[in-house]
Amino acid sequence: MNHISKFILIACTIVCFLIGPYSAKADAVSDWNARACELAVSPNFDTPTANRMLAIMHTAIYEAANAITKKYPSSDLKIDAPAGASVDAAIAAAARTTLLKLIPAKEQQIEVAYQTSLSKIADGKAKTDGIAVGEKVAVAVMGARIEDGFATVETYRPYTIAGVYVPTFLPIVSHWPQRKPWLMTSPRQFRPGPPPDLKSELWTRDYNEIRAIGRKNKSTRTTEQTDIARFWEATGPAIYHGLVRGVADQPGRELTQNARLLMAVTQAIDDAMIAVFDAKYHYNFWRPITAIRNGDIDGNDATERDASWTPFINTPMHPEYPCAHCIVSGTVGTVLQSEIGNARMPVLATTSPTADNSKRTWMKMEDFMQEVANGRIYDGVHFRTSTEVGTAMGRQIGKLAAEKYLQLSRR
DSSP, residue by residue, 264-289: HHHHHHHHHHHHHHHHHHHH-PPPHH
Q: What is the pLDDT of residues 75-124, one digit of tens each?
A: 888 888 999 999 999 999 999 999 999 999 999 999 999 999 999 999 99
The C-alpha atoms of residue 332 and residue 327 are separated, in whole angstroms, by 9
- Residue length, the chain? 411
19 pLDDT higher than 80: no
The C-alpha atoms of residue 9 and residue 112 are separated, in whole angstroms, by 8
Q: What is the pLDDT of residues 249-286, one digit of tens each?
A: 999 999 999 999 999 999 999 999 999 999 999 999 99
Coil, strand or helix: which one is 63?
helix
How many CB atoms neighbour CB 10 within 10 A?
Answer: 11
Q: How many Cα atoms within 13 Å fall on the side-chain side of residue 112?
A: 21
The C-alpha atoms of residue 150 and residue 173 are separated, in whole angstroms, by 9
The C-alpha atoms of residue 349 and residue 242 are separated, in whole angstroms, by 7
**Structure confidence at residue 218 (pLDDT):** 93
358 pLDDT higher than 80: yes
Q: pLDDT higher for 42 or 244? A: 244
CA angle 391, 392, 395 (to 5 degrees): 90
Nearest to 61 by CA among 140, 124, 152, 162: 140
Kindly report the average pLDDT of the chain as a whole number: 92
Q: Can you say whether the dihedral through the CA atoms of 319, 322, 324, 325 is positive or negative? A: positive
Q: What is the pLDDT of residues 116-163, one digit of tens each?
A: 999 999 999 999 999 999 999 999 999 999 999 999 999 999 999 999
**78 to 19, 81, 137, 251: CA distances (angstroms):** 33, 10, 9, 30
74, amino acid identity:
S
Please provide residue 55's backbone torsions phi and psi, each rounded to the nearest 5 degrees.
Answer: -65, -45
Start-to-end Cα distance in the chain: 52
Q: pLDDT higher for 5 or 322? A: 322
**Structure confidence at residue 408 (pLDDT):** 52
Nearest to 287 by CA among 267, 313, 264, 266: 313
Strands 358-362 and 348-352, how do they pair?
A: antiparallel
**Structure confidence at residue 25 (pLDDT):** 58
Q: At what angle do helices 47-69 and 125-145 cross, to 10 degrees?
A: 130
The alpha helices in 214-344, defined as continuous H runs, are 223-231, 238-248, 255-283, 288-293, 324-340
The C-alpha atoms of residue 33 and residue 39 are separated, in whole angstroms, by 10
Q: Alpha carbon 229 to chain centroid distance?
A: 18
Nearest to 379 by CA among 203, 237, 216: 216
Bridge partners of 125?
none
12 pLDDT higher than 80: no
387 pLDDT higher than 60: yes
Return the DSSP state at 360: E
